[in-house]
């Protein structure tokens, strides 16, 4: 798909300000859309929107189709009459600068349960009709997900591989009995998904009305402890106990002597091929129902992935295994048309990865933080960018621009200062200007860089199992002076918000 020159900001909804412990889809999210529009931005990039599991990571979700109930707005529930003002009187005092998931989750779930009770007791005909329409439209994934989450709750939150054997192997009689026994819990899960999608769709419509395109994110691999792996075990390389035979990761490299061990199960691509990649087509369609553009995380995995035997403590003892390659994208293109996909082609990139990206005319990614190692031919340097690419100062996996500059070698700092003819006192805005000045069709930066924040505002340390995904921006970030400054660079580098 052909993209028009534009720019935007990377900010996950959890990072929005607000009084309820986590950013949500309510008033501050709608204010954010207006702020982007007023700054002349045409893009808003988010991380995966699914319900978070291990480590509170959006890349380890309980479902590839469901939405994260923690993003549901209490303010909007109040407006709908699904909460009473008394329900919010005893709201805990949450920190404004970070998400405390351990404190947030039980409170938020309790609030959603009260909204569900209100929905059951006094549902409006309109809302009830919408609920039934939602369930009918999303039955492919919603039925399995709601039962999966109800069973997780019933069995103490542990992995599905520890459930009783008849449920682990999905014996029809056991599933039928479980559906009857846990019918209220299942309806509660369905209700949360209905409300999430209702609030998100309203926000998405607001974005479209302001000519803001939302860039979503699809991790190539899914979490082992997810509804999809439990419901469709034939699609994944699992043993008879439901455990992965192999798991995903990346091999040792400059950044890690032992590689990265992600732990996700790998696909049985031959099974996906046999039915025309139908599960993947449904997955892509579902995400494109929520966003306008999709970033395919770990794009190189479609050409080949690093396979590590289950049980290994590091990613050292792995091997490269071929993926579905061009055949997959041919099937996607045939079924869904010319898709708005960004290929996350960072890391060890081989000619076959480049060939797939170029054949299907997919823009790749460039990270300006990676550019200053001293070689003028470095592909990440702005003068070496291609128009068919998306350039970032950094992503959620990198340090902030200021944090990066404070920790790199003096040689790297020197090359940065020489290349940009800057003194390093405004490093975040130096990198933003270099990024916006690139010929690349899209330019984006994390909100942390627009605020010139340091390492304390980093979103994620890849490979660290905990302590990530907590950063929140202050409400003061919605300043008119910053908005004017962003609008100016959008004008100067011809990245204005224009109608699609």
Active site residues: 297, 344, 397
Measured distance CA(257)–CA(250) in Å, rounded:
11
With contact defined as beta carbons under 8 Å apart, do 469 and 102 qualify?
no
With contact defined as beta carbons under 8 Å apart, do 224 and 246 qualify?
no
Cβ contacts of 50 within 8 Å, gap of 6 or more: 58, 61, 62, 63, 64, 65, 66, 67, 68
Measured distance CA(322)–CA(307) in Å, rounded:
10
Measured distance CA(26)–CA(38) in Å, rounded:
19
With contact defined as beta carbons under 8 Å apart, do 51 and 130 qualify?
no
Cβ contacts of 434 within 8 Å, gap of 6 or more: 368, 382, 420
Measured distance CA(118)–CA(81) in Å, rounded:
8
Measured distance CA(451)–CA(340) in Å, rounded:
29
Centre a 10 Å sphere on the Cβ of residue 181 and count the other Cβ atoms it contains.
13
Measured in degrees and rounded to the nearest 5, phi and psi for residue 235 equal -85, -5
Measured distance CA(215)–CA(43) in Å, rounded:
7
């Amino acid at each position: 798909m052909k993209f028009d020159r534009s720019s935007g900001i990377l900010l996950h909804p959890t990072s929005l300000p607000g009084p309820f412990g986590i950013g949500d889809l309510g008033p501050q999210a709608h204010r954010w859309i207006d702020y982007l529009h007023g700054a002349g931005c045409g893009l808003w990039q988010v991380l995966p929107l699914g319900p978070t599991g291990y480590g509170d990571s959006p890349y380890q979700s309980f479902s590839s189709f469901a939405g994260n109930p923690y993003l549901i707005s209490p303010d909007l529930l109040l407006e709908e009459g699904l909460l009473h003002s008394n329900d919010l009187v005893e709201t805990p005092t949450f920190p404004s600068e970070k998400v405390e998931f351990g404190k947030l989750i039980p409170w938020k779930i309790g609030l959603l349960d009260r909204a569900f009770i209100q929905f059951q007791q006094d549902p409006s005909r309109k809302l009830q009709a919408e609920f039934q329409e939602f369930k009918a439209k999303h039955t492919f994934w919603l039925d399995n997900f709601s039962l999966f989450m109800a069973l997780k709750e019933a069995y103490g939150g542990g992995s599905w591989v520890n459930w009783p054997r008849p449920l682990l192997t999905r014996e029809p009689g056991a599933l039928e009995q479980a559906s009857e026994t846990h019918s209220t819990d299942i309806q509660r899960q369905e209700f949360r998904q209905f409300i999430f999608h209702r609030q998100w769709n309203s926000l998405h419509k607001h974005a479209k009305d302001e000519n803001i395109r939302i860039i979503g994110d699809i991790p190539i691999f899914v979490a082992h402890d997810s509804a999809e792996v439990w419901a469709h075990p034939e699609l994944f390389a699992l043993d008879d106990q439901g455990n992965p035979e192999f798991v995903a990761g990346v091999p040792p490299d400059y950044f890690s002597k032992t590689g990265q061990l992600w732990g996700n199960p790998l696909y049985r691509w031959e099974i996906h091929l046999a039915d025309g990649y139908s599960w993947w087509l449904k997955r892509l369609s579902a995400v494109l129902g929520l966003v306008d553009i999709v970033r395919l995380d770990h794009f190189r995995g479609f050409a080949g992935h690093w396979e590590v035997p289950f049980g290994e403590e590091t990613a050292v003892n792995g091997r490269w295994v071929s993926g579905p390659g061009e055949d997959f994208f041919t099937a996607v293109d045939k079924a869904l048309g010319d898709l708005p996909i960004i290929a996350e082609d960072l890391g060890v990139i081989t000619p076959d990865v480049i060939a797939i990206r170029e054949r299907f005319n997919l823009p790749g990614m460039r990270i300006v933080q990676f550019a200053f190692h001293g070689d003028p031919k470095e592909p990440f340097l702005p003068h070496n960018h291609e128009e068919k690419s998306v350039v970032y100062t950094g992503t959620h996996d990198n340090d902030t621009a200021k944090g990066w500059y404070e920790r790199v070698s003096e040689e790297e700092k020197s090359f940065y200062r020489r290349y940009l003819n800057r003194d390093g006192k405004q490093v975040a805005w130096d990198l933003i200007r270099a990024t916006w000045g690139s010929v690349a069709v899209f330019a984006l930066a994390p909100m942390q860089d627009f605020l010139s924040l340091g390492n304390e505002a980093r979103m994620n340390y890849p490979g660290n199992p905990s302590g990530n995904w907590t950063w929140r921006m202050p409400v003061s970030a919605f300043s008119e002076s910053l908005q004017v400054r962003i609008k100016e660079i959008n004008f100067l580098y011809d990245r204005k918000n224009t109608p699609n």
